[in-house]
Chain A
Amino acid sequence: MDKSANLPLTPHYPENEGPEGYNSAPAGLTAGRLGIWALIASEIVLFAGLFGSFILMRMIHPEWSEEARHLNLVAGTLNSLVLLVSNFFMMKASGAAGAENNDNVKKYLVLTMAMGVLFLGVKAFEYTAEFAHGEFPTSGGFWSFYFLMTGIHATHILGGLVALGLLLNRALTGSMGNWKGRVAITGIYWSFVEVVWIFLFPMLYLLA
């Protein structure tokens, strides 16, 4: 049953106008794209506060490098590769959405979400291993920062998965319609989450 019939009809607007008003954005920039960039900018400052505090405390407590040895390096590296792969699929999905090839969009969205879930799975595995070894957020400064930073990052991945789910739900109705641009926007958000892990991984696992 083709569900795209009950999508809201877009009323006819005069030249260059939308429901909210006249489009005065500079060329090639849409409201959604500018919005996601501003959101990423404020998120970067959030992670800057987190990373700044961690680097600061890491310089005060050199003994944290011993505790960093308990981290499972293999799982961390695997997670980095998983995120790279999911980012690759995400870019393919936004390319396919641009080319209005709905089957590819569905395929790559599912693959991206699968990789995101795999990342969370590996993270959950790591957490349970650490809990088993008696390393909880309360057992020392390094562990509280570790669980805080990876926890906030995992929450951002969850948020991304929710957005991808909404996109997939729309893709399953047959055609992306005017949601076409939103795949690229979610792609930008997903790449931002990837960049955060690119910094988080060496900071936690690899620092001497």
Chain B
Amino acid sequence: MSQDAHEHKQSFISHYIFSTDHKMIGKQFLLLSTIMACLGGFMAYLIRWEVAFPNVPAPFFGLVSPDKFNAIITLHGTIMIFFVGMPFLSAFPSNFFIPLMIGARDMAFPKLNMASFWLTFAGAVLLVASFFVPGGPVAGGWVGYPPLSASSEFAGVKWGACLWLLALAMAFFSSSLGGLNYLVTAITLRAKGMTYSRIPMTVWFLLASAVTFFFSVGPLIAGDFMLIMDNMFGTGFFLPAKGGEPMLWEHLFWFFGHPEVYVLFFPALGMGLDIMATFTRKPIFGYKLILWSTVSAILLSFIVWAHHMFLSGLNPILATPFSITTILISIPFAIIIFCMLATLRHGSIRLEVPMLWMLGFLATFLVGGLTGIFLGSASVDIYLHGTYFVVAHFHYTLFPSVFFGGFSAVYYWFPKMYGRKLNEKLGLLHLALTFIFFNGTFWPLFRVGIGGMIRRIADPSFYPQYHQFANWNIFATICAISLIASQSVFLWNLVLSMNHGPKAGKNPYQSNTLEWLADSPPPHGNWGPVLPVVTSGPYEYSKPGESEDWHSQASNIKGETVHG
């Protein structure tokens, strides 16, 4: 049929390194985020070690002196959000699953797609390079508030700060160009018959995440250039001494910052809804209700950002409107979570590994969501701002989205990506360990935060009022170390089953969406000669009067009926 149906011989370079195949780029993002997760995880271990055992040399690293500590927390935050969260949750599933789930052969702009991976890779290289630069890596906190981050006379770091800012700029360009590519692909390359109401929830939420990102990143790119000029050329955008305004950076940063946390949260919701529909053998509750809640959440997310700045000299008049909008935005997300719970009701739930991970996500995220409401109202935030309560809150929202949501997606789609299933027992062990140690690490931080312990302090033993939290911190550190150690179970499972796992057919979980009609792993062009023609919605599970309890979306391609 068409010229590219035959597998033209690709050299190693064009097949693996400079590939424009959306599946290969998805795997490249997965690999990059895994490597950066190891780096970020090592830093997390150093932070927890220093907080629990101050001035005791940490194994594998040595003494974590206060200035090293500042650099490590800055890099931990930046790496985990921009080089683990964005690639693992927004770039990898979008690249791999948007074309497959809407019945396309590839992205709308394949070369742009490849460029967006290499921009993130360049950003990661720049960030790692900033370790070895004179003056060391950046130490201004991942938020980089000026005047500390605006000139080297305060933070003692000039080249490291500039490299950090350039790495951020690279990550922003990559994610916004990628997001643009996902939007155009989803709108212009849907299979015949795939109307807007037949698009699976994963694709909808990946689009919501992409659109939220590239509409909110503009001001921060502007702020990024301003901060680079402040650091390198000595201009005074954010330096009060030179007539600048430090609050301007905080506005520009958090105008992007808050939509960014929803950008990380949306993919986990979307994939969670699809996984729940598959494993409860039941259509999801309120398809349109969830979509409109997402739209209202996106619009609200642009007018909430100043709740990060209640204590940084924000005009008190503004504290009230931003508290109101912050409390308001919890309503759309509550609706989505309730729709998830309603999907579980009366479902014949198959407690397989992806479903258990998703239930883990639901459980832990609720804690994060509810503590957000405390921090959202100005009156409480005045006491809790800058304490470990905030640290525990955002770990209870980011960790479930990136790790519980991300791992449930990996366990669910691993058969489709590699043709083999991950080992069940190792998966359950990994889930049990991660769930226990994650809660063990961050639950005490709520207690420590309410007690008033300020975050980003290298040596808490120096302050007598924090001696009461020493035991909590030691307990949290032990759980953190075992949490990081238990991730090796997943890495072992990944390597083991990539080549030796049980063979998985096209549709091991008997799911409806289109990607389960392609071979696993799907060949170049995904569908072979004939593109699927969609005849039904993605959630036609246990329709009355049907022998099978699932009904694949496209009828013109013969999927597998028997359990793989």
Whether B244 is near chain A, meaning CB under 8 Å from some CB there, is yes
Residue from the list A16, A34, A41, A48 in contact with B184, Cβ < 8 A: A34
Residue from the list A19, A25, A56, A140 in contact with B187, Cβ < 8 A: A25
Whether A207 is near chain B, meaning CB under 8 Å from some CB there, is no
> Which A residues are CB-close (under 8 A) to B252?
49, 53
> Which B residues are CB-close (under 8 A) to A39?
180
A49 near B188 with CB under 8 A, answer: no
A148 with B243: in contact, given A22-B531, A53-B248 (CB under 8 Å)?
no
Whether A23 is near chain B, meaning CB under 8 Å from some CB there, is yes
Whether B110 is near chain A, meaning CB under 8 Å from some CB there, is yes
Whether B118 is near chain A, meaning CB under 8 Å from some CB there, is no
Q: How far is the CB of B495 from chain A (nearest CB, A)?
A: 33
A24 near B235 with CB under 8 A, answer: no
1/0 contact string of B520-532 vs chain A (CB within 8 Å): 0000000000010
Give the complex CA separation of A41 and B108 in angstroms. 18
Which of under 10, 10 to 19, 20 to 34, or 35 or more describes the interface residues of B?
Answer: 35 or more
Main secondary structure of the interface of A (DSSP, over half): helix
Give the complex CA separation of A156 and B311 in angstroms. 38
Q: How far is the CB of B90 from chain A (nearest CB, A)?
A: 15
B225 near A38 with CB under 8 A, answer: no
Give the complex CA separation of A47 and B223 in angstroms. 11
Main secondary structure of the interface of B (DSSP, over half): helix
B236 near A144 with CB under 8 A, answer: yes
Q: How far is the CB of B171 from chain A (nearest CB, A)?
A: 15
> Which A residues are CB-close (under 8 A) to B214?
38, 41-42
B3 near A11 with CB under 8 A, answer: yes
Whether B194 is near chain A, meaning CB under 8 Å from some CB there, is yes
Q: How far is the CB of B6 from chain A (nearest CB, A)?
A: 11
Whether A61 is near chain B, meaning CB under 8 Å from some CB there, is yes
A42 near B108 with CB under 8 A, answer: no
Give the complex CA separation of A52 and B219 in angstroms. 9
- Of B107, B184, B190, B248, most A-chain CB atoms within 10 Å: B184
Whether A100 is near chain B, meaning CB under 8 Å from some CB there, is no
> Which A residues are CB-close (under 8 A) to B181?
35
1/0 contact string of A53-68 vs chain B (CB within 8 Å): 1001100110000000
> Which B residues are CB-close (under 8 A) to A49?
218-223, 252, 255
B residues near A (Cβ < 8 Å) are 1-4, 99, 102-110, 176, 180-181, 183-185, 187-192, 194, 214-223, 225-226, 229, 233-237, 242-245, 248, 252, 255, 531
Q: What are some 21 contacts across the A-B interface (CB < 8 A)?
A: A11-B2, A20-B106, A20-B107, A20-B189, A21-B105, A21-B531, A23-B188, A31-B108, A34-B184, A35-B184, A39-B180, A45-B218, A46-B218, A48-B219, A49-B221, A49-B223, A52-B219, A53-B223, A140-B236, A141-B237, A141-B242
